[in-house]
DNA sequence: ATTTGTTGCTAAAACGATTAAGTTATATCT
DNA sequence: AGATATAACTTAATCGTTTTAGCAACAAAT
């Protein structure tokens, strides 16, 4: 019951290895094999349960049929779900996926890329970290296939798949305004990445239009000290003389800690206080408020990322920048 | 700036390819190279930024240095976290990880295994699905390296890493009894897998000891129709004449839907009603109850799984069955 | 009758690494 | 001095595919 190779099929049918290979891969232009022989070879391959040796094929072709996916944190359900769909869709296209983590740190992103490149992957779908441009630029310049996802890097000409974050944040803020809120706070990560900048801008735009933008209500949270920072921010916001009447949490991890901090400070989740947030969250079903959230089309993001990276891998060098729209959902 | 191979280093230093390979891999027993030359070759390799071609190496050695991890659902934070640690620890040992999903279905597990095996992986860490024994047995018999995780298959002699589910469930039920609950319900998946059987047994044991075991309070949920089933179960439990005073949710997905169903049925989350559950959950911080939960040592599970699979890959054929303990946490 | 074309197949190189089995040249031993 | 050992390196085979180039046989065209 040992593994079957082309050699074994060739021996059995008393033909050459090349003939078997050509018959199975059916590139009619090159060598030509008679229809009968092709049929016989295919039949025998089936009977003997021939499985091509992917590694030998890779060595010959210079392609591994593996793509790398580097996310910020695979234990975060948003990235977990993205990984799920990327994996599903890539499998359909005959590719495997190796996942790496950056933990939002450029140094760890660097390690992941190096380790994946040496594996080696044919291309990378990357959730870029803050200030990773300098490190990524050489790969881009060398035309190594890279697609950014979730965020992009304005200074680099790279394909990416993102959502319209400004629009999403605008809608999420607007829904609070429409409910009558005038003092709406924003909890957002303190960083210079596109998704955060755009979410902040959407928030600002909605409130400015409504004539009640107040920059003091923006609380910027440090990713590495999220629990503490969110807790402090919530305390400040709640204990301020003219208290807030709404909060927009600009990411799922911020709302996780935000909800917890609000609860611990005994802030009554009553209807005179409105919340909106990014991404579906387990607590949304529990809280005695109908909390609207931005629903990102994760499956679509995954599918498009795979499409783009496969496009690059196949040698089409056109850069595509895809911006998907999202909608507000109220369960 | 094209890729550097052994050939290039050899040409530059006017030595043979074999010499370069031997110098870099330093297998002193085989060919011997003078210390000076070794130093010079290593230096040059560094300068030229030589990266070994993993595929060529794999073809020669018959090893890919990739392990496959097949989980039930990578978008579930428990498995996401497990994947995170498996990946981290495997990377430390020089292995990459390819992740597959089974969605708790044996047919999808089958697809994942086939696709990963053809990639090919050196070994597989698998979260087994219900009734997958028949499909898995041939691989086990052929000594293909497999480690089961989270659950095991009593009928197959395979290495595994699980937690002591009976003990965990016993403790989680016991804590409710100690709070004074006498009518404690169990929400659990309807299947014949070890982790569920053992959790049910732990629950039964605790309540029997306390003299208040009532099989009617066990609600078995269908994984594929979880939302509906949980909702129905909660309704039955709450509206029964002699209502329950506690629930133990035997998995994180069950508690997610359970909390939601309880909330929607306006069940007051008051202190005369106690809950315990499996795994940390975002809603735990929010609910106005101190809900104890079973904290699984996910990092340890990941590390041990990797250790076992690498052991098998390296040819040590001993089967190890590891049962880790978990603790109850009250935040 | 020679050229040209077509069909059906095979030989052999290539992908880039590892490694068993030499081959020198020098050192050591009797 | 001659035999033997050892140090330092190289040659060439190998892993399993893919694919280029070529061979032989026969057909068609000039």
**Contact residues on chain A for B76, CB-CB shorter than 8 A:** 77, 80
Q: Within window 39-98 on A, which residues have Cβ closer than 7 Å to strand D?
A: 50, 52-53, 56-57, 59-61
Which has the higher per-residue pLDDT, A27 or B85? B85
Q: How far apart are CA B321 and CA B331, in angstroms?
A: 31
Q: How far apart are CA A232 and CA A227, in angstroms?
A: 9
- What element of type H or E holds B248? strand B246-249
Handedness of CA B178, B183, B187, B190 (dihedral sign): positive
Q: Give the lowest-confidence range in A187-191, B17-21, B51-55, B240-244.
A: B240-244
pLDDT at res. A319: 95
Tens digits of per-residue pLDDT, B76-95?
A: 999 999 999 999 999 999 99
> Which of A64, A73, A83 is closest, CB to CB, to B74?
A83
Cβ atoms of residues A292 and A255 within 8 Å: no
Q: How far apart are CA B153 and CA B160, in angstroms?
A: 9
Tens digits of per-residue pLDDT, A98-146?
A: 999 999 999 999 999 999 998 889 999 999 999 999 999 999 999 999 9
Tens digits of per-residue pLDDT, B298-316?
A: 999 999 999 999 999 998 8
Cβ neighbors of B331 (< 8 A, separation 6 or more) are B284, B285, B290
- SS3 state at A263: helix
pLDDT higher than threshold 80 for residue A271:
no
**Contact residues on chain A for B98, CB-CB shorter than 8 A:** 66, 96-98
Q: How many CA atoms lie within 13 A of A17 on its CB side?
A: 6
Q: How far apart are CA A65 and CA A53, in angstroms?
A: 13
Mean pLDDT, rounded, for A1-10: 92
Q: How far apart are CA B103 and CA B85, in angstroms?
A: 20
Q: What is the pLDDT of chain A when averaged over all its residues? A: 92
Rounded to 5 degrees, what are φ and ψ at B277?
-155, 175
Tens digits of per-residue pLDDT, A157-166?
A: 999 999 999 9
- Å separating the CA of residue A59 from the C1' of nucleotide C15: 5
Suggest the residue from A78, A283, A284, A288 to mutate for an interface test with chain B (most B CBs closer than 10 A). A283
Bridge partners, residue A96, by sequence:
A66
Bridge partners, residue B97, by sequence:
B67
Share of chain A above pLDDT 90, in %: 80
What distance lies between CA A51 and its chain's CA centroid?
A: 32
- SS3 state at B185: strand
- SS3 state at B315: coil
Short-list B91, B108, B44, B16, CA closest to A87: B108
pLDDT higher than threshold 70 for residue B28:
no
- What element of type H or E holds A319? none
> Which of B52, B101, B285 is closest, CB to CB, to A259?
B285
Judge if the beta carbon of B59 is closer than 7 A to nucleic acid strand D: yes
pLDDT at res. B29: 62
* CA angle, residues B119, B124, B127, in degrees to nearest 5: 125
Cβ atoms of residues A210 and A243 within 8 Å: no
pLDDT at res. A79: 97
b/e map of A67-95 (b: 16 or more CB within 10 Å)?
A: bbbbbbbbbbbbbbbbbbbbbbbbbeeeb
Only one residue has tokens 């390979």, namely B21
Band of residue A28 on the pLDDT scale cut at 50, 70, 90: low
**Contact residues on chain B for A75, CB-CB shorter than 8 A:** 77, 80-81, 83-84
pLDDT at res. B248: 97
pLDDT higher than threshold 90 for residue B207:
yes
| DSSP, residue by residue, B34-94 | -HHHHHHHHHHHHHTT----HHHHHHHHT---EEEEEES-TTSHHHHHHHHHHHHHHHHTT
Short-list A300, B88, A7, A34, CA closest to B80: B88
pLDDT at res. B268: 59
**Contact residues on chain B for A113, CB-CB shorter than 8 A:** none
Q: How many CA atoms lie within 13 A of A89 on its CB side?
A: 20
Cβ atoms of residues B39 and B13 within 8 Å: no
Suggest the residue from A50, A58, A94 to mutate for an interface test with chain B (most B CBs closer than 10 A). A58
Mean pLDDT, rounded, for B315-319: 89
Mean pLDDT, rounded, for A50-66: 96
Q: How far apart are CA A35 and CA A55, in angstroms?
A: 29
pLDDT higher than threshold 80 for residue A1:
no
Share of chain B above pLDDT 90, in %: 80
Q: What share of chain A is helix, strand, coil (3-state, %, to 5)?
A: 50, 15, 35
> Which of A74, A98, A264 is closest, CB to CB, to B84?
A74
In chain B, the residue whose alpha carbon lies closest to the alpha carbon of A2 is B142
Tens digits of per-residue pLDDT, B144-201?
A: 999 999 999 999 999 999 999 999 999 999 999 999 999 999 999 999 999 999 999 9
Alpha helices by DSSP H, listed for B148-251, are 165-178, 194-209, 226-239
Chain B: closest CA distance from residue A117 (Å):
10
Chain B: closest CA distance from residue A212 (Å):
30
pLDDT at res. A238: 85
Judge if the beta carbon of B34 is closer than 7 A to nucleic acid strand D: yes
Q: How far apart are CA A294 and CA A275, in angstroms?
A: 12
Mean pLDDT, rounded, for A199-206: 98
Q: What is the pLDDT of chain B when averaged over all its residues? A: 92
Cβ contact, residue pair B282, A282, below 8 Å: yes
Q: How far apart are CA A148 and CA A161, in angstroms?
A: 6
pLDDT higher than threshold 70 for residue A268:
no
> Which of B99, B118, B286 is closest, CB to CB, to A87?
B99
Mean pLDDT, rounded, for B223-244: 88
Cβ atoms of residues A298 and B75 within 8 Å: no
In chain A, the residue whose alpha carbon lies closest to the alpha carbon of B73 is A84
Tens digits of per-residue pLDDT, A204-224?
A: 999 999 999 999 999 999 998
pLDDT higher than threshold 70 for residue A270:
no
Only one residue has tokens 């599918």, namely A303
Tens digits of per-residue pLDDT, A245-254?
A: 999 999 999 9
Q: How far apart are CA A194 and CA A158, in angstroms?
A: 14
pLDDT at res. A290: 83
Token pair for B15? 């030595």
**Contact residues on chain B for A260, CB-CB shorter than 8 A:** 285-286
pLDDT at res. A15: 95
- SS3 state at B146: strand
What distance lies between CA A329 and its chain's CA centroid?
A: 20
Judge if the beta carbon of A60 is closer than 7 A to nucleic acid strand C: yes
Mean pLDDT, rounded, for B46-62: 96
**Contact residues on chain B for A264, CB-CB shorter than 8 A:** 285
Band of residue A267 on the pLDDT scale cut at 50, 70, 90: low
Q: How far apart are CA B134 and CA B156, in angstroms?
A: 9
Band of residue B260 on the pLDDT scale cut at 50, 70, 90: confident
Mean pLDDT, rounded, for B224-251: 89
Share of chain A above pLDDT 70, in %: 96
In chain A, the residue whose alpha carbon lies closest to the alpha carbon of B51 is A118
- Strands (E) located in A48-106: 66-71, 96-101
Max Cα distance, chain B (Å):
90
Rounded to 5 degrees, what are φ and ψ at A189?
-75, 145
Cβ contact, residue pair B80, A88, below 8 Å: no
């Amino acid at each position: 019951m040992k593994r079957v190779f082309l050699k074994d099929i060739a021996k059995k049918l008393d033909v050459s290895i090349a003939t078997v290979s050509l018959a199975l891969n059916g590139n009619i232009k090159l060598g030509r094999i008679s229809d009968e022989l092709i049929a016989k070879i295919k039949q025998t391959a089936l009977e003997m349960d021939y499985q091509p040796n992917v590694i030998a094929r890779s060595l010959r072709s210079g392609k591994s049929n593996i793509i790398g996916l580097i996310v910020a944190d695979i234990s975060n359900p948003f990235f977990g779900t993205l990984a799920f769909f990327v994996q599903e869709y890539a499998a359909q296209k005959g590719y495997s996926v190796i996942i790496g983590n950056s933990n939002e740190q450029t140094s760890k992103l660097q390690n992941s890329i190096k380790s994946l490149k040496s594996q080696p992957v044919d291309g990378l779908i990357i959730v870029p970290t803050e200030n990773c441009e300098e490190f990524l630029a050489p790969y881009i310049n060398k035309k190594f296939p890279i697609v950014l996802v979730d965020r992009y890097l304005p200074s680099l000409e790279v394909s990416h798949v993102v959502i319209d974050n400004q629009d999403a944040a605008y809608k999420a803020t607007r829904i609070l305004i429409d409910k009558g809120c005038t003092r709406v706070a924003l909890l957002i990560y303190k960083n210079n990445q596109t998704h955060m900048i755009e979410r902040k801008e959407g928030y600002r735009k909605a409130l400015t239009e409504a004539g009640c933008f107040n920059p003091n209500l923006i609380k910027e949270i440090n990713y590495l000290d999220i629990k503490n920072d969110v807790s402090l921010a919530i305390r400040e916001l709640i204990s301020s003389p003219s208290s807030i009447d709404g909060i927009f949490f600009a990411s799922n991890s911020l709302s996780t800690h935000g909800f917890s901090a609000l609860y611990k400070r005994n802030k009554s989740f009553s209807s005179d206080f409105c919340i909106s947030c990014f991404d579906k969250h387990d607590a949304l079903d529990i809280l005695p408020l109908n909390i609207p959230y931005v629903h990102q089309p994760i499956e679509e993001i995954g599918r498009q990322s795979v499409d783009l990276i496969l496009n690059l891998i196949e040698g089409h060098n056109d850069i595509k920048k895809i911006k998907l729209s999202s909608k507000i959902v109220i369960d």
